[in-house]
Amino acid sequence: MQIISPIGKSCAAAVQSSVASSFSLIASSSLVDKFTSVASSFSPVAIALSLVVSCSFAFPSPVHAQQVINGVNIFPANHFINTRIDNTSQYPADAALTATILNNTGGSTRKIHPDWGAIPAYGIPYNVVPGSMAKYKLTFQYASESDPGPYPVSNKLAIEGGTWASSNSGDRHVLMIDTTHQKLYELFSTYGSGTKYTAGSGAVWSLTSNKLRPDSWTSADAAGLPIFPLLVNYSEAVAGPVKHAFRCTFHRCNNPPHIWPARHDAGGSHPGYPSFGQRFRLKASYPIPTTASPAVKNIMTALKQYGMFCADIGSDWYITGAPDSRWTDNDLQMFKNMPASAFEAIKNPTVSPNDHRAVGPDDATAGPAH
């Protein structure tokens, strides 16, 4: 779900009238209802003054990163997330590893699962916040591996699980994009209100840099990777080709060792299962259904071209996305019909742990560390 500031139906109507010529994420007066579903306890005044703002995707020439919000690229074009891996001679599949992982995670009958949907509680939402938004220092459970901030956090923002109430027992990720300062703020296990907040861990990313977390550090995700840029996003997919990788989970992972570009281990060593950072690719031979919607076709094409990273421990072959009310049961079923056997594990490049380039030494487009 994309959240915009519901400052009145006139604003929503203005956005709606311009949607044909721009890629506005949401353009209808139902935004007030959507926002209220996430923050049902807000008064009308509080909702009107919400600091959650609208954002839009633009699709520039191929030399730029795919995702552009308010004119800001989501990481450089040669960031590993934005790097294609469908050249099988440069990025060959590891057939033996693929077979072993598949055998350990459900076998030939296992299907892919879209871990997002049409309701706010299903998926990981994100927030685009103004640069002037108040920022706060948090108390972190894993302070030694967290960026101190401050963070533009508020319990008015959309949170994973759909509610800030203590009954939300999920991962409670809060993702904040500040395009004014070109920063991405991400929090895990977030609690609090007013000016006092706590979290399990937190990471601040410069959207202009390829720089990774220090090796061995977590982020708001177990693998130490960013979350937002790896999400399936309806508005992005319906507007045009998707040009970045995605995020997936498995119930058991082989950590250590994590694989570049992952930075962190969790869950113990389990040979025969994917390590954090393992990249998978939808096989070129997989037939994308002709009856699929444009959004589904674009996502499946991106899975062939950019793939997905094992980023956390969860359910096997779950691909993570942002909730959006426009997803239909038919769209989601298209992904549920995909067999896990249609994916292949990619042989990972040999790079030093602190190599900040897009893919590795053989990548001619890789830029320097920032």
Q: Give tens-digit pLDDT for 42-100.
A: 333 333 333 333 333 333 333 334 688 888 999 998 899 999 999 999 999 999 999 99
Asked if residue 129 has pLDDT above 60, the reply is yes
Measure the CA–CA gap between 217 and 354, rounded to whole angstroms: 12
Residue 165, classed as helix, strand or coil, is coil
| Enclosing H/E stretch for 202 | strand 201-206
Q: What is the mean pLDDT of residues 1-21?
A: 32
User: What pLDDT sits at residue 70?
Assistant: 84
pLDDT, mean of residues 109-131: 96
Q: 280 — alpha (psi -120 to 50), left (phi > 0) or beta?
A: beta
Query: Mean pLDDT score of the chain, rounded to an integer?
Result: 82
* Closest listed residue to residue 188, CA positions, set 204, 203, 172: 172
Average pLDDT over residues 22-38: 30
% of the chain exceeding 70 in pLDDT: 76
Beta strands 191-193 and 139-140 are unpaired
Residue 354: per-residue pLDDT:
60
- pLDDT tens-digit map of 178-195: 999 999 999 999 999 999
The stretch 119-142 carries a mean pLDDT of 96
Residues 55-70 as b or e (16 or more Cβ within 10 Å = b): bbbbbeeeeebbbbbb
Q: What is the pLDDT of residues 273-312, one digit of tens each?
A: 999 999 999 999 999 999 999 999 999 999 999 999 999 9
Question: What's the token pair of residue 183?
Answer: 């920063």
Distance CA 292, CA 335 (A): 10
Q: What distance in Å separates the CA atoms of residue 151 and residue 99, rounded to the nearest whole number?
A: 43
pLDDT of res. 213:
94
Q: What is the pLDDT of residue 348?
A: 80
- State mean pLDDT over 5-28: 31
| pLDDT-derived band at 40, boundaries 50, 70, 90 | very low
Q: Which stretch of 30-44, 93-107, 268-282 has the lowest confidence by average pLDDT?
A: 30-44
196 in Cβ contact with 138 (< 8 Å): no
